[in-house]
């Protein structure tokens, strides 16, 4: 999701992963909202819309023509991330409904539940590029390129 502030600056919406591992990490740890395809889902676009809602509470537009397709990247972990952008806004309230179980401390055998996303926000392009996962920066560049047309 993106928007323009009152001064006309492009702002990019990013989310930060929850849990103790990510607690004090900032640069390079933020992401676009994303997730796994559920059983029965065969449309990546619908998965992206569902994941945005589950992680943030934001209802994305249903009409596909309101989106800019940004392609896909493969992250260091091997996870393939497909992205679309749309112009929108957010109330500032994170309505996270998804919790994940993680082992903490690492290799302890103990499991804790943490929110998949613990914070979110709109950032100016330069700051978004510092915060976002290195492999996802291309999405910001593609959005800027598209909006410049």
> What stretches in the chain show pLDDT beneath 70?
41, 97
pLDDT of residue 97: 67
Q: State residue 72's pLDDT score.
A: 95
Give residue 104's pLDDT: 95
CA 23 to chain centre: 17
Q: What is the SS3 assignment for 24-91? A: CCCCCCEECCCCCCCCCCCCHHHHHHHHHHHHHCCCCCCCHHHCEEEEEEECCCCCEEEEEECECCCC
- Structure confidence at residue 3 (pLDDT): 98
Using DSSP, state whether 145 is helix, strand or coil.
Answer: helix
What fold, for 2-147? Nucleoside Triphosphate Pyrophosphohydrolase (3.90.79)
pLDDT of residue 94: 85
The structure's pTM equals 0.93
Domains of the chain, by residue range, sit at 2-147
Backbone angles phi, psi at 85, to 5 degrees: -125, 150
Q: Which tokens hold the place of 32?
A: 């676009």
């Amino acid at each position: 999701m993106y928007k323009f502030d009152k001064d006309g600056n492009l702002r990019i919406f990013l989310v930060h992963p929850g849990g103790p591992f990510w607690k004090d990490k900032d640069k390079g740890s933020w992401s676009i909202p994303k997730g796994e395809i559920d059983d029965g889902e065969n449309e990546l676009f619908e998965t992206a819309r569902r994941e945005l809602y589950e992680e943030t509470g934001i209802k994305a537009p249903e009409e596909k023509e309101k989106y800019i397709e940004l392609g896909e990247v493969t992250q260091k972990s091997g996870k393939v991330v497909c992205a679309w952008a749309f112009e929108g806004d957010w109330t500032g309230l994170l309505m996270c409904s998804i919790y994940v179980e993680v082992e903490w401390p690492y290799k302890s055998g103990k499991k804790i539940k943490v929110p998949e996303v613990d914070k979110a926000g709109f950032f100016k392009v330069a700051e978004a590029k510092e915060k976002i996962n290195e492999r996802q920066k291309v999405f910001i560049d593609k959005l800027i390129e598209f909006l410049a047309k």
